[in-house]
Structure 1
Amino acid sequence: MSIWVLGATGRVGRAVTGRLLDRGESVVLVGRESARLREIAASTGLRVVIADTAERIAAAIAKERPAVVINTIGDYAESATTIVHACLPGGHYLDQAADLTSVPRLLALHDEAVAAGSTLVTGAGFGVLATEAVVAALCEGKPVPSEVRVDAVASVAVEDGLLGTALAASIIDVLVTGGRRYRAGGLTKSRIGAEAKRLTLPDGEHAAVSEAPSAELLAAQRTSAAPNVSAATAMMPSAPAARAVLPFAGRLLRLEPLRRFAIKRLAGISAKAAPRPREHSWGHAVVTWPDGTTREGWLKTGEAMDFTAAVSAEIAARLARGEGKPGAYTPAAAFGPDLATAAGGEIIS
C-alpha cells in the first residue's frame, strides 16, 4: 500500500520521505517536473508522479488510489479540498496546515470523511501538535477548564534558498487574519501581537512571545472545551514598534492585489543558511479551572521542522496500518497526546 508525498522536493517533503523509507514504507514522490525531483528519485529508486497543479494531483490520486497522501505543498486553503476529495472514499490524507482558514475548512469535512471511511489529519507538525498535546495531557481526566493559554516556541534552522510561495503565503495570511482569541466560548477579534510576554523555558533560555492567529488556538479550544483560550508564538516580532504596525499592515494586505504582490516579493527573498537559535523547540500550555487550580506543561523537542517531519511520518505509517478512525481531526484528537512522544518529543508537566 503506497504513501504519496506531495511536494517531495521541499524541505518537509524530503525529510518525511527519508523517515518513511527508514520505516520500510512504500513511497511515491509527487511534484512538478524538475531536475531536483529526478535526482531524488534516482538516488532513492522511488517512483515519480509528475503533476504541477492541485487538479492534476487530484486526478492522479483518483486514478491510482494510494493508501495515504501526505500534502507538504503548502497553500492549503487553496489546494487541500480538491486533493482531499480525490482521496475519498477509503484513502487517508494529512497535511501540516496551521492557520485559521485551512484547518477549520478541513475539519468541516468530518462527516463526509466518516461516511467515506477515510481519516483526514490536519496540523500534522510542530504547528498544532506541540501545544495541542500538552493541553490534552493536562486536561486528561479533568473537568472542563475555564481558561487555557498556549505558547509555541519553534527553533528552526534556516536552509539556503528562496523563501518560497507556501511559507510566504502563510506569513502574509497571518497578518491578514489579524488577532483572534476565544472569549465566553466564541471566537473574537483581538489585537495581533497582544499579550506579549517573556517566557523562561525549562532549560533556562528565554523567548519573547505574543498572540497570533493560528490553528493552535482552535486545537486548544477543541481539546479543552475551555470558553477562554489564547495562543501566542515566538514567531511574531518582539519589538513594541514592530508589533504596533502589524494591525495596519494586515488591513492593507486584505486588498487582494497587495496580498498577491506581497507574497510574490516575500517568496523571492533568498535566505542564507543559519543554525537554529535554540537547542530545543517548546510547546507550552497553562490551564486554569473554575476553582482557581492551575496546571502548566511543556513539550520539549529538537529542531521544529525535524519534529514536523517525524510527526507526519508517524501519522502516515499509522494510517497505512489502518490505525486511524474515520473522520477529520487535528493530530492529538486523532491519536492522543502520546503521538508527540512517539515523534520524539517529551511532555513535561
Structure 2
Amino acid sequence: MKCLTYQIIKLALSLFLVFLIFNCSNESIKNDSIIVNNPLENPEDGPPAGNPDGDSAIPSDAGLEDVSNPDTIIGNGSPESCTCDAVVNAVAKGGKITFNCGTQPVTIIMDKPAKVFNNANPEVIIDGGGLVTLSGNGATRILYMNTCDANQVWTTDHCQNQDTPKLTVQNITFADGNSTSETEYSGGGAIWVRGGRFKAVNSRFFNNVCASIGPDVGGGAIRVFSQYNNLPVFITNSTFGGAEGYGNIGSNGGGISSIGVSWTIINSLFSHNKAIGNGGNPSEAGTPGGGSGGAIYNDGNTMTLSIFGTRIEENEVNSYGSSIFFVSNDHSGNIKIDNSIIQNNIGGSWYPIYPSISMHSDTPISVTNSTIE
C-alpha cells in the first residue's frame, strides 16, 4: 500500500513538473512572439513606428480604426497565401481589410498598385497587424486613391470635395515604392491620394521614391490633394525613414508632399529623407526645379500644418526648407508646432524665422514647448 501511494505521489509530481515546463516554455514563446513578430517594434526589422518620446494627445479621429470584424481577411495562415493580387482585390472591394499570413513578419511584393474604387465602400481600412510590409520592390507605387479619376468611378459632381472614400492605413509598413514611371499622377512613391479622407496610424515608410526633379512634384512616401472640407490628413505614431538607409526620396517633400492640404502630425518621426530636385519652385533659370522640403512639403493657399510630439531631424535638401517647406500662396495658411524637436537638418536656404523652415515671413507660426535648431 505504501509502495502504491509513493508511486501515485511520484506520478503526480512528474505531471506537475511537466506542466510547469510546458507552461513556462509557452510563456517564453508568447513573450518572444511579442518582440519578434512585430516589425513595428523590432529594431532588427527597421526603425519602430513613431517617435518613441512622443506623448502628445491623440484625438479620436486621428487614432486606430476598429477592425475586429473585418470585411476581408487576406491569407489563410501561410505567407504564400498573401499575394499582390489578394491585396489588389481586397482594396478594390474596400471595407475593413486585415491579414492572416502566419505568425511571423511577411513582406508582400506588389507588382502593381492596389487601387481604391470610389463606389465600392465608403471606408477602406488596411490593417497589417504589425506584421505586414507591402513592398513596391523598387518598381511600382503601392497604393492609390483618386476621387477625380474616372477609371476609379466618379461618384459625385464635386469629386475634389467629397467625404468618401475614407482611406486608413494602420499597423503596416510601406517599403520600396516607386512612382517615377507615373506621368499623369506623379509623386507619392508609396501612396497617392486625392479627395475623400486619408490617415496613417502606427505605420512605417522606408525607401520609397518618386520623381527626382521638377518644381511641383514630390512626396517620396505620400502625396495628397483635396481633402474633404479642408479637413487635415492625420499622421499618427508613424515613421518616415527613421535611420540611415531607410529614408524616402523625391524632388520635393522627401517624406510627404501636398498642394492645398492641411496636415496634423502627431508623435511621429521624420529623418533621413531627402528632397533631391534643384532650383526650387518656380524653377530658377537653368535648373529643372525642386529640391525643397526635406521631410515635409506644403504648397497651396488656406491650410494648416500642425506638428505635435514629433521629431524632424537629419533630413536634407538642395534648395529650400531642410525640414519643412510651407508656402501659402495667398498668405492665409499657418503653422502650429508643440512638444516637438526639429534639429540637425541639412542644406537649403530662406529661413526667415526658424532654422530649416522655409515660409513667408508673415505666415503665422505658433511654437510651444519645442526645440528648433
TM over 0.5: no
CA radius of gyration, larger in: 2
More strand by share: 2
Q: Which structure carries more relative contact order (alpha carbon 8 Å, separation 6+)?
A: 1
Give the alignment's TM-score, normalised by structure 2: 0.27
TM-score normalised per structure 1: 0.29
